[in-house]
Amino acid sequence: MILLKIALAVCLPSCATMRLMSKRIDASLKDLIKALRKHAEAVGASRVSLKKSQRAAAKLQSTASAYAAAVHAKSGLDTPFNDVLTPGLENVTLNSLLAERDALASHSKKTEPAASSTAL
């Protein structure tokens, strides 16, 4: 009887937490954990298959995005993976590169009609 009370005391708080969690968040959390395990298996093996690791990384990214979307839909909070989902360059650098790319694209569009009219 005492063991039953102890088991209930330990289990009930975690069971109550699970009942309070959104079904969508719970499902996406399970998918995310599964994708993390698959990714760890793919990249942690003695021989790392490039295709297998790329598939696992893509699945991990999509499940992380799905989890973030579920959290946002339920709570309105921003993604908990800001640094993970946008790795690499800082926003200032990215914006500068995007502006440069757009300027080059618009410049090439302006020069294309002139080049084609002289060819005729």
Cα–Cα distance, 13 to 7 (Å, whole number) = 11
- Residue 1's pLDDT is what? 38
Cα–Cα distance, 53 to 70 (Å, whole number) = 25
Residue in the structure block whose two tokens are 């760890």: 40
Which of 29, 6, 32 minimizes the C-alpha distance to 17?
29
Query: Which residue positions in the chain have pLDDT lower than 50?
Result: 1-8, 10-18
Residue type for position 63: T
- Residue 93's pLDDT is what? 82
* The two structure tokens encoding residue 57: 């990384």
CB burial of 79-97 (b: ≥16 within 10 Å; e: otherwise) equals: bebeeeeeeeeeeeeeeee
Give the model confidence (pLDDT) of 37-67 as tens digits.
999 999 998 898 889 999 999 998 889 889 9
Cα–Cα distance, 66 to 29 (Å, whole number) = 9
